[in-house]
Amino acid sequence: MKSMLIKNDEEIKKMRKVGKLAAEVLDMIESHIVHNITTEEINQICHNYIIKKQKSIPACLGYNGYPKSICTSVNDVVCHGIPNIKQKLKEGDIINIDVALIHNGYHSDTSKMFILGKPSILSKRLCHVAQESLYLALNLIKPNMPLYEIGQAIEKYVKKQKFSVVKEYCGHGIGKNFHEEPQILHCDNRDPGIILKPGMTFTIEPMINTGSNQVRCMKDGWTIKTKDHGLSAQYEHTILVTDKSCEILTLRKEEKIDQILNINNKNLKYTQ
Ligand code: MF3
Ligand code: CO
Ligand code: CO
């Protein structure tokens, strides 16, 4: 079994703080997601807020050479869309905004979808299924659970909805590093090696497509699109495994914890 980083109380405090800050960026940007705003303008607003208001560092900026402070993935872009001065948001667009921060030496990472104006039935359902797939995974988390059950549950649910799960990109441990062990797959993989333990912090960030799950990287070396140009949606949270379940470190204002986690309705399979 690979050794996983278990965070101590002091580190958990710092993870809570940086998690809350990242969630607040997504809360803040909501009112700016309007017709004709460019993805670069969204990037600028987030960048200034993170640096000046939050006294934090945008973790994406300069990460492996990434040129901007957030990722903006529109319509058929699966992830890592680069904000661009020429890209204006228009009626019916769906956009994922992915924010990662460093504060006091610790990282957080979270994303959500925004829809411009009146969504099509398909794009609304896609965004809903992506969010539900994250929430159902969060509901499963408890100590002593095999890690692979997360991906297994996400893929089973998404397939039932007749959508597909991208396999090339996954969630990740997070802490002092932006990306650390373990990898959190969003599809069925029977790796029995890793067992969840209290104090682990990681992201879950399923990418869900309307068509096939095949993806293609653009010439810029970052932007990942669906091969068939179908729509793609993603939601991401950074979480902490607790003694009984999980704590969502990047919970937003609009998210009510008792609506997300069925606290009274847990099966106790793995609880000692
Ligand atoms: N935020 C992405 C993730 O969820 C990583 C983006 S890396 C970047 O893991 F360099 F593209 F910003
Ligand atoms: Co991530
Ligand atoms: Co992210």
Query: What pLDDT does 190 receive?
Result: 78
Fold annotation for 9-248: Creatine Amidinohydrolase (3.90.230)
Query: What pLDDT does 230 receive?
Result: 98
Contact criterion met (CB below 8 Å) for 228 and 125: no
- In the chain, where are the structural domains located? 9-248
Q: Helix crossing, 148-160 with 121-140: angle to 10°? A: 150
Q: Which two tokens stand for residue 13?
A: 């405090």
CA of 254 to the centre of ligand 1 (A): 23
Helical H segments across the chain, by residue range: 9-29, 39-48, 121-140, 148-160, 257-260
Mean pLDDT, rounded, for 235-243: 98
Within 6 Å (CB) of ligand 1, which residues are found? 60, 63-64, 66, 71, 80, 98, 100, 109, 205, 222, 236
Which of 113, 68, 107 has its CA nearest to residue 94? 113
What pTM was estimated for this model as a whole? 0.96
Residues with a beta carbon under 5 angstroms from ion ligand 2: 109, 203, 205
CA distance 212 to 271: 37
- pLDDT tens sequence across 48-107: 999 999 999 999 999 999 999 999 999 999 999 999 999 999 999 999 999 999 999 999
Closest atom of ligand 1 to CA, residue 70? 12
Confidence check: pLDDT of 191 > 80: no
- Please enumerate in sequence order all residues whose Cβ is within 8 A of that of 166, keeping only pairs 6 or more positions apart, or say none: 78, 79, 186, 206, 207, 208, 209, 213, 215, 232
